[in-house]
Amino acid sequence: MPTSPRPLRQLGFLTIGLFDAADPGRGHESTLEIIELGERLGFDSAWLRHRHLQYGISSPVAVLAAASQRTRRIHLGTAVTPLGWENPLRLAEDLATVDILSGGRLNPGVSAGPPMHYDRVKQALHPGTADAEDFGYERVRRLLDLVRGEPASDFSGTEGFEVFSNVVQPQSPGLGRRMWYGGGSLGSARWAGEHGMNFLTSSVVKAENPDGPLDFAEIQLSHIRAFRAHHPDGEAARVSQGLVVIPTDSASPEQRAMYEAYAARRLPRTTAPQGPARLLFAPDLVGTSDEIAERLHAHVAFREVDEVAFALPFTFEHEDYVQILTDMATKLGPALGWRPTG
């Protein structure tokens, strides 16, 4: 473990992009405005969560295509796209297209596993093949191969007046190095490292060893170290941490009270593993930037990373996100050693 934290090199944020079903356009526009604000504030990256059959962004790749035309510098990512909902070939085409449109700024984050509530959606999602679909790492590997230029067809050449390629088009050569895996287990950390991906670690991990420690930071640290131990780049392999962080430096008294109440409601789930998967949640960090920086500097997993994508709370209003992001960029980031990009 480093004797002191690594200076923060990349500051990003993550949002779910909630909207009102009666007026979805306003919520999507709010997300785009938040991304534009992030660029003005100097953030290095903006990430979108992926929600299906809910009132959050269901098509982050489409939203990021729009964001790519309203920004010029900030990197744009998904954290994460659950591949059980996707056809890897079609997704590879969409990702490459948006990466080209953005000038090479796309950072797709993906995960394996069956879709949530699969028994209730499988006939709509995968009719005829629902019980044969593979939702494991093989689905991720297929996507990686296609993005990285492996053949998708055994035919290329001219047929009549049309020209065909045997690899996904367009090809965006740098995209394969900007693929991220969102994982919360030792197995996923090792797999991501072995396959040369970057690693997204969030505010949720699996407490897989019932006899092991129940310290969130220690478990997350073990994942980061396992990832790098299995990655060709070793200690230089990229890891981004995504804790929920709410600085209050410029917040009104009403905002501070709301933020503290939000964190308090979610605190009980952090005291013990939840459900059959033994999910362990990190406490939300609420306070002044100096207070949050002190807590992060004491967090053994944070000390191993130099990139973050701090998660914005789900249910706040647009003006709350403006305050939180502004404090992150002007107060918290510098307290962690980060300097904004011009």
Q: Give CA–CA dist 9/44, Å, rounded.
A: 9
Q: What is the pTM of this model?
A: 0.96
Which helix (H) or strand (E) segment holds residue 79: the answer is: strand 75-82
CATH classification at residue 315: 3.20.20.30
212-249 per-position pLDDT tens digit: 778 999 999 999 999 999 999 999 999 999 999 999 99
Residue 270 lies in a domain: yes
Please report the pLDDT score of residue 2 as a whole number. Answer: 46
Domain count, the chain: 1
For residues 203 and 63, what is the distance between their CA atoms, to the nearest angstrom?
24
- Could you read off the pLDDT of 87-107 as tens digits, one per residue? 999 999 999 999 999 999 999
Q: What's the one-letter identity of residue 116?
A: M
Q: What is the pLDDT of residues 313-342, one digit of tens each?
A: 989 999 999 999 999 999 999 999 999 876
> In this predicted model, what pLDDT tens digit does every residue of 243-269 receive, in sequence order?
999 999 999 999 999 999 999 999 999
What's the confidence (pLDDT) of residue 340?
86
Q: What is the pLDDT of residues 25-48, one digit of tens each?
A: 999 999 999 999 999 999 999 999
321, part of any domain:
yes
Specify whether the CB–CB gap between 199 and 227 falls below 8 A: yes
Look up the domain containing 208 and give its range: 10-153+166-335
Average pLDDT, the chain: 96
Predicted local confidence at residue 342, as pLDDT = 63
Tokens of 122: 């499988």
User: Could you tell me if residue 314 is inside a domain?
Assistant: yes
When pLDDT is averaged across residues 175-199 and rounded to a whole number, the result is: 98
Does 5 reside within a domain? no
Is there a domain that residue 160 lies in?
no
